[in-house]
Structure 1
Amino acid sequence: MNILSIQSHVSYGHVGNSAAVFPLQRLGHEVWPVHTVNFSNHTGYGEWRGQVIPASEVAAIITGLEERGALARVDAVLSGYQGGADIADVVLDAVARVKALNPAATYTCDPVMGNAKSGCFVDPAIPPILRERVVPAADLITPNQFELGFLTEREASTIESTLEAVDAARALGPRAVLVTSVERPDREPDTIEMLAADDEGAWIVRTPHLPLKANGSGDVTAALFTAHYRTTGSAAEALAATTSSVFDLLQATLDSGARELQLVEAQQAYAAPRLQFEVRRLR
């Protein structure tokens, strides 16, 4: 499978394309990364060097790929954090061009806006653009629970309200939704869940909640779920494999004591997921 990944890039650490590309390659997929920023490290450090790449230059890279005949061979487009409002136009144009050349191609949008602890941390112009223009063009979206509520402008806390928000998100256009960081009030202590839904139903999986902040783990999750969902056509199977791989990546990172994801060290977890967690059907 050929994947066009339009995301940020950092030299040190693993977020954006620096998190998504290697796990996808380890699964055997070809990845063509297009960077929207080129930073020394992720912004969680408070200081970084580098630059945001102008939207015109991002578009030029995509045009160059088209001139090589690559866009016609793209099976999936993946986008993540959008640093500026003008990047949305570039992403949507790329998706339209890919789908015109290959109608079977799909688009995954990871609608990065914030989280339950930090709130919304992107430019205020971004959420309306995601809600009104980008999400409707997507086949699959991968918000966390907070972002799902923000996108659909409704509460997403209990399983019931989260499923209702998923339905509202799917009504915007995407046929499949993966919800990460699901933390319902009645969950077992020290656990966290992920939920996936499409036309075939909805499923949930529970894992221990590991005590670490892992920048880039959402980028890995979106990438792996995209690949598994496209390969198997099953949201339940994709959820099981993705959960297994990401948990083992996070466990390896926690065990190492490092701040950055141990992306390379955990590579066997992507290539051969242990499938150690039960996926339960909700409907």
Structure 2
Amino acid sequence: MNILSIQSHVSYGHVGNSAAVFPLQRLGHEVWPVYTVNFSNHTGYGQWGGSAIPASEVTAIVDAMEARGALAQVDVVLSGYQGGADIADAILSTVARVKALNPQATYTCDPVMGNAKSGCFVNPAIPVLLRERVVPAADLVTPNQFELGYLADTEASTLDSTLAAVDTVMAMGPRAVLVTSVHRPDAAPGSIEMLAADATGAWLVTTPHLPFKANGSGDVTAALFAAHYSQQFGETGSALQALERTTASMFELLQRTHDSGQRELQLVQAQDSYVQPRAAFAAQQVR
């Protein structure tokens, strides 16, 4: 597949496109990154150099790609951290242009806003734009549980409320939802879960919870799931297969990173885990 990925870039470490591109390439996909910010490192360090990229520059890059005939070849548009509030228009315009040239193309939106521990860490205008304009245009969205609750305008804290929130988001337009981190009071101690749902069903998968913060892990998760799911979009069992394969790869990446003692994802060192993960986690159908 040819994947147009519109996300942030950091020179040091792995978040945004700096997290998503290599695993997708390792899976054999052609990836064309377009950057929304150009930073030295992710903002979790508290200090960074660089700046957000204006929407006009993003559009200019896409314009030139279209002139090369590239947009007609795009199978998947993937977006993540947007930087400025004006990027939404550039992304939506790009998606519309790609789909006009290739009606089979799909759009995956990772609605990056924040998390339960940190709260919202983006421009306050961006969550509203995501909920009202960007997510309704997506075929697949990959929020964490905190972001899911915002999109659905409801609390998602139990399995039932999380599934209800997924239904609300799917009613907005997306055909599939991946919830990248599910926390619920009745989950097994020391575990963390992910949930994937589409018109064919919903599945929950459980892994051991590794006790550390891994910036960029959501970006890799969204990229891997988008690639696996988009190859068989909407077919029966495609969400299940994509969820199980993504989970195995991510667990191995996170385990390797945890064992290394390093703050940044060991993205290159774990490269074989994207293609042939040795771990296996069976997902449970929950509806």
Give the RMSD, CA atoms, in angstroms.
0.7
Q: Which residue of 2 aligns with 1:134?
A: 134
Q: Which residue of 2 aligns with 1:242?
A: 246
List per-residue Cα deviations over 1:196-245 (Å, max 9, x = no partner): 00010000000000011000000000000000001244000000000000
Shift of 1:183: 0.5
2: distance between equivalents of 1:258 and 1:82? Answer: 27
Q: Which residue of 2 aligns with 1:28?
A: 28
| 1:108 is aligned to 2:112 | no
2: distance between equivalents of 1:68 and 1:277? Answer: 42
Q: Which residue of 1 aligns with 2:3?
A: 3
What SS is found at the alignment partner of 1:19? helix
Residue 282 (structure 1) aligned to one of 274, 280, 286: 286
Contact kept, 8 Å, 2:34 with 2:58, in 1: the verdict is yes
Q: Which residue of 2 aligns with 1:50?
A: 50
Q: Which residue of 2 aligns with 1:64?
A: 64
What stretches of structure 1 of length at least 5 have no aligned partner? none
1: distance between equivalents of 2:177 and 2:107? Answer: 12
1: distance between equivalents of 2:28 and 2:105? Answer: 18
List per-residue Cα deviations over 1:233-273 (Å, max 9, x = no partner): 40000000000001100000001000000000000000112
Q: Which residue of 1 aligns with 2:261?
A: 257
Shift of 1:180: 1.2
What SS is found at the alignment partner of 1:255? helix
1:82 counterpart letter in structure 2: Q
List per-residue Cα deviations over 1:63-84 (Å, max 9, x = no partner): 1110000000000000001111
2: distance between equivalents of 1:182 and 1:95? Answer: 29
Contact kept, 8 Å, 1:8 with 1:35, in 2: the verdict is yes
What stretches of structure 2 of length at least 5 have no aligned partner? none
2:41 counterpart letter in structure 1: N
Residue 268 (structure 1) aligned to one of 269, 272, 277: 272
Shift of 1:275: 4.8
1: distance between equivalents of 2:228 and 2:13? Answer: 24
Shift of 1:128: 1.0
What SS is found at the alignment partner of 2:231? helix
Q: Which residue of 2 aligns with 1:12?
A: 12
List per-residue Cα deviations over 1:170-201 (Å, max 9, x = no partner): 00000000001101011111100000000100
TM-score (norm: length of structure 2):
0.97
Count, aligned residues: 283
1: distance between equivalents of 2:41 and 2:55? Answer: 20
Contact kept, 8 Å, 2:252 with 2:279, in 1: the verdict is no
Percent identity between matched residues is 75
1: distance between equivalents of 2:53 and 2:135? Answer: 23
Moved over 2 A (4+): none
